[in-house]
Amino acid sequence: MAKKKQDITLLREKINQLDSGLIKLLAQRRKLSKEVIVVKETFHKPIRDQQREAELLNRLIKAGKKEGLDSHFLSKVFYEIIEDSVRLQQNFVQTKLNTKSEKKKAIKIAIQGIEGSYSYLASQKYFTHFNSELTFVFKKLFDEVIDSVEKGEADYAVLPIENTTSGGINEVYDLLLHTTLSIVGEEKFQVKHCLVALEEVPIRKIKKVLAHHQAAAQCSKFLESIPNVGVEYFVDTAMSVQKIKEVGNSSFAAIASEEAATLFNLKILQRDIANQPENFTRFLVASRKPEEVDSRIPCKTSIVMATSHTAGSLVEALNVFRKYNVNLTKLESRPIIGNPWEEMFYLDFEGNIIDETIKNVMDELGQYTRFIKILGSYPSQELSKTKLEYTKILESGIQKSALPISYDSQNIINKKSKSKNYRLASREYKSEDTVIKVRDVIIGGNNFVVIAGPCSVESKEMILQCALEAKENGVQILRGGCFKPRTSPYSFQGLGLEGVEFLSEAGKYYEMPIITEVMDTEQVADVAKVSDILQIGARNMQNFALLKEVGKTHRPIMLKRGLSASIDDWLNAAEYILSQGNRQVILCERGIRTFETATRNTLDLSAIPVLKELTHLPVIVDPSHAVGERNKVIPLAKAAKVVGAHGIMIEFHPDPPNALSDPEQALYFQQFEELMRDLYKL
């Protein structure tokens, strides 16, 4: 036993030495990044070279595979390194552009709250590349924060403006209208709420929770789960922890960050208590004077405007952005005090106020507004990730071609056609292809996507193993059945909501959207909270109550063709979803029953070109369910791409013969890898 303990100590010491070495290497790399930007600045070269980034990632991942490291792990590490390098170089350029004299050694930052608050943590993150000493001016109210910068007490104000769970922070929006400060930056900070108490006690014994009203709104479901608890609103999350410490009552708790709990030496009773696991707050950084943004840096501009209180006035103003192809990223309305039922509009859009295009936008916008104020132009936090080139990672030299078949939708709709019951799904209603975005994945248009995973989620370990296989081979969307409609009542029926949770965790870890099937109207709301796409199976294609229910959700719907359904039946089923307001429908051809019995079903590939003439909806092919035999799945998957499908859905399994659902059609990992390599050649 003593020897084992000694061995662990030695191993840990080796790990510590490696970690220290990694820190030194990261510091050296950052130093080189600083030298690179000096050279770029001398010759005014672009800050980012995404071709170089792609080559770097592809080279490192290929080298990593030889060392047994998966591409997801390596890409996550190097995305962070690349982002740090880009931020550092951008900050160098911005500082040089906006600093006339010697750089300040100390920066004063005004925030609402105290040390340990989310504003404090977001400020530290934002100013990390400034290489200046940070001092904070703590205030209780947002207007005091702005006032302190306006009077010169602080250099910058850091203010929360919106949250992904609780929405916009109205008080800050209203203050922006009247302040003389200019927005010079933004920071998006992940908020991880914890329940904090004086000591370790059962949560059911907590009688009062102190929380900022925004934090309480973001954790409302958790608070509802504590019996007979009272909620007392507090001015700040970290201050609520401070109050708990002062009161000394073990039945009191607070909602705050882990850092605040550590700062005041309190216990964390539970982590991640927010309603939504991905909970982000966007902060604005403001100063007395506007700052220029280098033309090489992606920029965002914020304005506030008021239009005349007449029909179409807002539309006319917004059409200016469309005319100049300027993308709006935010539109928020706030009532005009003293003018009942009239609104002031806050807009964020991509572009730099010094660009000629944006100058034209602002000039023309003045024709359609009665008030306009520029709040600021500032570097955008949205850094696009360099895409991995799986054509080079899976097999060097493979070139991915465009889809071989395209359709002129205008010619199609001009053709004489019979009257259809499905109006919203038809080309006559919408001539251009519907393109559906699921996170960063584009379904439709000229894109070809691969959706893959096991037929059923059998365990957490199994779906994580499948997710890794999918990610390593360029799959864009992870699939897995959780509610399984089986012909026999004795077959595996799926893990239900527990399976959905396992699938969701795997998707988040490997950064892939997920799709799973819903079978009943009562499942829709719960599954839609976590699944990026909802699937309607073949047996439910004409379950009209279910179609109407999913039509009310905001999630894209994949509608599989019924076993004996005509194309007309199928499109009419899609119409049920579209008519409820959900216009994100993906059709999935999965084989139909015919007189032929050689395979499980007959894959109707002729439906693909027919559908492209009749409908604007994207079409996916599922060869796994069509033939039910793994050896025939691969050629049909390739054929689906050649015939013009927008993607395929494939099943694979770590141990196909022992799969709990449809073992005959699941590909072995090696087969799936070969299929993905071949698809990239087409």
Residues annotated as catalytic are 281, 283
Q: Identify which of 558, 639, 652 has the alpha carbon closest to the alpha carbon of residue 603.
A: 639
3-state helix, strand, coil in the chain (%, to 5): 40, 20, 40
Around Cβ 31, how many Cβ atoms within 10 Å? 10
Q: What does 422-454 look like in DSSP terms, one character per residue?
A: -STTBTTT--SPP-EEETTEEESTT--EEEEE-
Q: CA 638 → CA 162, 450, 560, 589, 605, distances in Å?
A: 45, 11, 20, 14, 11
Which residues does 386 contact at the CB level (< 8 Å), separation at least 6?
A: 50, 53, 54, 57, 79, 82
| Number of alpha helices (DSSP H) and beta strands (DSSP E) in the chain | 23, 25
Q: Identify which of 552, 615, 550, 553 has the alpha carbon closest to the alpha carbon of residue 587.
A: 615
Which residues are paired to 481 by β-bridges? 456
Q: Tokens 């506007």 identify what position?
A: 290
- Order of strands across the sheet that contains 208-211: 230-233, 208-211, 252-256, 194-197, 267-271
Report yes or no: 629 and 664 within 8 Å, Cβ to Cβ: yes
Q: How far is Cα 258 from Cα 236, in angstroms, rounded to an integer?
A: 14
Angle, CA 339 vertex, CA 333 and CA 345 arms, to 5°: 20
Q: CA 256 → CA 271, 414, 487, distances in Å?
A: 10, 61, 50
Q: Determine whether 461 is exposed, middle or buried from the number of CB atoms within 10 Å of its CB (0-12, 13-18, 19+).
A: exposed
- What does the DSSP 8-state code read for residue 123? H
Which residues are paired to 185 by β-bridges? 285
Q: CA 565 → CA 218, 502, 593, 597, distances in Å?
A: 45, 33, 9, 18
Instruction: Give all strands (DSSP E) within 547-634, no chain letters.
Output: 557-560, 585-589, 619-621
Q: Is 3 helix (H, G, I), strand (E, B) or coil?
A: helix
